[in-house]
Homo-oligomer: A and B are copies of this chain.
């Protein structure tokens, strides 16, 4: 029995899937006009673990996560008509779609390095213009939207539930809107569903209202319903999207006559040294830069999941150093188990058996309780102490095998921490060259000592690893077979 915190009810609820074995899950994906940063990484990892937990619990998860490749509005009132992708395109002298594709690939590469599984479906906003236009037409027909000069707006006051998800009241919202509202809206609260394209706007499509482009919010309503159907299980996203984006999504979908997501899950933000990450504070960091300057991706993944997804996660240098050590321990214990199991004496180790039972119970209880990864990790580290004791004793092979299975299933499969990052070619080459020089020197010493059985043995062992040695006038060269 899995319990999830549903933002809609602001409480933990027992998760009841819409179908016995299948779960439909939608996650708001990135706007692809710049490199992915630590915030993208956290959202990706949080819901990747949640997806993996559902899979562990036997569900077949259809995980849909969109790519916003239509530039969207930058101001909170959503109506100044600035297209971010278009702006950047002019700067770089590129076609907007070229920018979108470039950053889409880099986004998925950066997230793959974190061990985040690819979504089942990655719909692109520009790939679903027809579906968005049709939803806008339904909203107009249902009285929830109206056209003004080639743009279409959602009539917020026609949907009294607006604000329900984020706990805001429509009348309070009114005071928060800016002064410089466009004259053509009935109400400053109304948001754009379709926007008239000014002549300088590059991305544009024909529509019943002339040439234009979709508003930011409409894509998610249209694409979630297209690929998951009505009444799907889970809609997820960052907390910063709860208002107005998710409110708008609900209003659009329900206004068009469709039942929408049953559970809304929101992931929290992160801090660096206690401060919110932002360009103005100078602590903004992309994932690619983090991997180069701070630590390998798996360290970051561990640092993320040391916090519960609904808590603020601190990702400062101290946390990263701690995560490095913790990750080493998790890798070390797995490596030692693999190395020592073949030589361990057979049979059970009673105290390890007990520790394993406790670890499984605690890990499962933690993850079932709204995906509590820090508690799950605590269970893992408790177990690790016991395993290390058992390894020193070197007894109880079947218990050690069970322990290895625990790490593979929970630390590898569910938490995704054994994903092998592609190490940089430079590091690899350097390490390889260094180790080869050590081996070549050893062979020289053995021969000097006339210990030919060792020197020949070394050569054979290298050969079985695919390395051949060649003695030349200028020294011994090595070659790795392709």
A213 → chain B closest CB, angstroms: 12
- With A123-B97, A438-B461 as given contacts, are A466 and B431 in contact (CB-CB < 8 Å)? yes
Residues on B with beta carbons closer than 8 Å to the beta carbon of A296? 482
- Asked whether, in the complex, the Cβ of A482 is within 8 Å of the Cβ of B295, the reply is yes
Task: Give 18 CB contacts A-B under 8 Å.
Answer: A97-B123, A101-B120, A105-B118, A126-B127, A127-B128, A134-B206, A296-B482, A328-B481, A328-B482, A392-B473, A430-B465, A431-B467, A434-B462, A435-B438, A438-B439, A438-B461, A439-B442, A445-B446
A130 adjacent to chain B (CB < 8 Å): yes
| Chain A 16-46 interface 0/1 with B at a Cβ cutoff of 8 Å (1 = within) | 0000000000000000000000000000000
A11–B454 Cα distance when bound, in Å, is: 64
Partner of A474, one of B122, B298, B394, B479: B394
Q: In the complex, what distance in Å separates the CA atom of A449 from the CA atom of B206? A: 83
Name A468's closest neighbour in chain B (CB-CB).
Answer: B328
Cβ of A75 within 8 Å of any chain B Cβ, yes or no, is: no
Residues of B within 8 A of A134 (CB): 206
Q: Does A357 have its Cβ within 8 Å of any Cβ on chain B?
A: no
B101–A119 touching, CB < 8 Å: yes
| A98 near B124: Cβ-Cβ < 8 Å | no
Interface size class of A (residues with CB under 8 A): 35 or more
Q: Which of A417-463 contact B (CB under 8 A)?
A: 420, 422, 425, 428, 430-432, 434-439, 441-442, 445-446, 449, 451, 454, 458, 461-462
Judging by beta carbons under 8 Å apart, are A436 and B435 in contact? yes
User: Closest 4 A-B residue pairs measured CB to CB?
Assistant: A127-B127, A442-B442, A435-B435, A434-B465
Is A462 in contact with B482, judged by CB distance below 8 angstroms?
no
In angstroms, Cα B441 to Cα A451, docked, is 14
The distance from the CB of A427 to the nearest CB of chain B, in whole angstroms, is 8
Query: Is B130 within 8 A of A431, CB to CB?
Result: no
**Of the residues B227, B336, B446, contact of A477 by C-beta under 8 Å:** B336
Contacts of A441 in B (CB 8 A): 442
The residue that A422 contacts in the complex, of B327, B336, B422, with Cβ under 8 A, is B422
A464 beta carbon closer than 8 Å to chain B: yes
A13 beta carbon closer than 8 Å to chain B: no
Residues of B within 8 A of A80 (CB): none
> In the complex, are the beta carbons of B461 and A298 less than 8 A apart?
no
A129 at interface, CB cutoff 8 A: yes
Residues of B within 8 A of A439 (CB): 435, 438-439, 442
Mark interface residues in A284-328 (1 if CB within 8 Å of B CB, else 0).
Answer: 000000000001101100000000000000000000000010011
A262 at the interface (CB under 8 A from B): no
User: A95 near B: Cβ within 8 Å?
Assistant: yes
Interface presence of A76 (CB below 8 A): no
Residues from chain B with a CB closer than 8 A to the CB of A482 are: 295-296, 298-299, 324, 327-328, 331
- A439 to B124 CA separation, bound complex (whole angstroms): 52
In the bound assembly, the distance between CA atoms of A281 and B271 in angstroms comes to: 60
With A394-B474, A473-B392: A435-B479 Cβ-Cβ less than 8 Å: no
In the complex, are the beta carbons of A227 and B97 less than 8 A apart?
yes
Q: A161 interface residue, CB < 8 Å from B?
A: no
Given known A-B contacts A62-B95, A98-B62, A420-B425, A461 and B474 have beta carbons under 8 A apart? no
A199 to B118, CA, bound (A): 31
With beta carbons under 8 angstroms apart, the residue of B295, B299, B464 that contacts A434 is B464
Task: Known contacts A324-B482, A482-B328; decide if A458 and B434 are in contact (CB<8 Å).
Answer: no
A435 to chain B: which residues have CB within 8 Å? 432, 435-436, 438-439, 465
Q: Which of B130, B464, B481 contacts A205 (CB 8 A)?
A: B130
For the complex, is A332 an interface residue (Cβ under 8 Å from B)? yes
* A324 partner residues in chain B, CB cutoff 8 A: 481-482
Question: Contacts of A295 on B, CB cut-off 8 Å?
Answer: 482
Q: Which of B127, B392, B446, B451 contacts A124 (CB 8 A)?
A: B127
Q: Does A121 contact B (CB under 8 A)?
A: yes
User: How far apart are A355's CB and chain B's nearest CB, in angstroms?
Assistant: 21
Q: Mark A87-124, 1 if CB is under 8 A from B, else 0.
A: 00000000101100110010000000000001111111
Question: For A126, what are the chain B residues with a Cβ–Cβ distance below 8 Å?
Answer: 127
Nearest neighbor of A446 in chain B, beta-carbon distance = B445
Asked if residues A121 and B95 are in contact (CB atoms below 8 Å), the reply is yes
